[in-house]
Copies of this chain bind each other. A is one copy, B any other.
Amino acid sequence: MIRLYDFELSGCCYKVRLLLNILKVSCERVPVDFANKEHKTNNFLKLNPLGEVPVMEDGEVRLRDSQSILVYIARQYDRSNTWFPDAPDSMGRIMQWLAFGGHELMTASGARAVKLFKYPLDLPALQARAMAAFRILDAHLAGREFLEFGHPTIADIACFPYVAMAGEGGIDLKPYPNILHWIDRIKQIPGFTAMPGIPALGAVAA
């Protein structure tokens, strides 16, 4: 069974849990004591020298980095070949959004970390960069149901969490109507699962 070194409030861990739940793949969650910096201990650094969650183990395979884990899970467990289709251009197009989710959108994660976890980062700068990324995302989503191919892929999963939790970083999503609709569509995917900060469709945030 897949083992996921996990922190409940991490959007990067949530990405993995979300895809696993959609694909009906069960996993053993190993909670990492983030508040006490377990992810920076020597034991954890043996699992991931970058000192970050999530880490996934599946038999002999151990992977860090949420985007890389999404790639593995989709190729290994998605029998429909729709979440990371194997055509070269499909892979390239989806990779663009894995990079966007792992880089540009991590500014929104940074803003949230300042607000939620008191990280000593430059909040206004992070919010400004996040909003610049949201403008690009919103423009791309005009007339589209999902980021690529008209159906959900790991591109959507990779970009979703920190956009959906933008409010926790003090960023209002009202100026981005296409993003708001996209968030609702993702919440309607069978197997969608909520997390603190990302309520189910129609539910009210705790």
A positions within 8 Å CB-CB of B: 49-50, 60-61, 63-65, 67-69, 71-72, 75-76, 86-89, 91-93, 95-96, 98-100, 102-104, 136, 139-140
- Of all A-B residue pairs in the complex, the 6 with the closest CB atoms, nearest first, are A72-B92, A75-B88, A68-B95, A76-B88, A68-B96, A61-B89
Whole-angstrom distance between the Cβ of A191 and the nearest chain B Cβ: 20
Query: Which residue of chain B is the closest to A67 with respect to CB atoms?
Result: B99
Query: Which residue of chain B is the closest to A139 with respect to CB atoms?
Result: B49
Q: 25 A-B Cβ contacts within 8 A?
A: A49-B139, A50-B136, A61-B92, A63-B92, A63-B96, A64-B96, A65-B96, A65-B100, A67-B99, A68-B92, A68-B93, A68-B95, A68-B98, A69-B92, A72-B88, A72-B89, A72-B91, A72-B95, A75-B86, A75-B87, A75-B88, A76-B89, A86-B86, A95-B98, A102-B102
| Chain A binding surface, main DSSP class | helix
Complex contact A63–B140 (CB within 8 A): no
Tally of this chain's copies: 2
Instruction: Kindly list chain B residues whose C-beta atoms are within 8 Å of the C-beta of A100.
Output: 50, 65
Complex contact B99–A68 (CB within 8 A): yes
